[in-house]
Amino acid sequence: MVNFGYTPLPTHIHDMDKASLTLADSISFEDASFNLCIACGSCTATCTAGSFTNFSFRQMCHQIKRGESKQAIAESEKCMLCGKCTLACPRNVNTRNIIRLVRKANQTI
C-alpha cells in the first residue's frame, strides 16, 4: 500500500481512562502533602528558577496528576532546590521533597 505520510493527529485531550497514575500514586504514598495543593500558584510566583525559565512547580504537580510523567520529570530538572516555594506554600506542601521524589522516580523508571 502506498504510504502517503498521513497519520492521525496526536490528541491533546486528557484521556483519564488511559492515563497511568503510577507516579502520582507513589509520590502521594511517600509524601501525602502532595495531595494538599489548591493550585494557588504561590510556589510558581515566588520561584527563582521560574524567573529565568518557564519552570512552574504547580504545573509540574498537575502533570503528575494527569499521568504526564515524562513532562513532569523534565520539568523537575529546572528546579534548583532553593526552597522559597516551601516557605510560600499556604497548604504546607513539602515542595522540595516532591521535587526530590520526582527525580528519584526518574532514576528508578
Partner 1 sequence: MNKIVAVIGGGVAGLETSIQLEKLGYKVNLYEKDSELGGHAGKWDRLFPNRRHATEVIDSLTSRIKDKVQINLVATVNQIKRENGSFLVEANGKSQKADAIVLTTGFELFPASKKEEYGYGIFDNVITSAELEKMFADHGKPQSTTGKTPEKIAIIHCVGSRDEKVNRPYCSKVCCVTAVKQAIEIKEAIPTAEVYCFYMDLRMFGPGYEDLYKEAQVKGVNFIRGRLSETSEMEGSRVLIKAEDTLSSKPLKMTVDMVVLMVGMSPLPSTEKILKDLELSPNNDGFVQVKDYHLEPTHTKAEGVFVAGACTGPNNITDSVNAAHSAALEVHKYLTSK
Residues that bind partner 1 (CB under 8 A): 12-17, 28, 32, 35-36, 39, 59, 62-63, 65-66, 91
Residues whose CB falls within 8 Å of the CB of residue 96, separated by 6 or more in sequence, listed in order:
81, 83, 85, 86
* Contact predicate 95/57, CB 8 Å: yes
Q: Which is nearer to partner 1, 2 or 16 (CB)?
A: 16
Minimum distance of partner 1 from residue 107's CB (angstroms): 25
Minimum distance of partner 1 from residue 82's CB (angstroms): 24
Minimum distance of partner 1 from residue 35's CB (angstroms): 5
Q: Which is nearer to partner 1, 32 or 82 (CB)?
A: 32
Q: Which is nearer to partner 1, 77 or 91 (CB)?
A: 91
C-alpha cell of 67?
Answer: 499521568
Residues whose CB falls within 8 Å of the CB of residue 3, separated by 6 or more in sequence, listed in order:
none
**Among the listed residues 72, 66, 70, 59, the one whose alpha carbon sits nearest the alpha carbon of residue 21:** 66
C-alpha cell of 39?
Answer: 493550585
Minimum distance of partner 1 from residue 1's CB (angstroms): 32
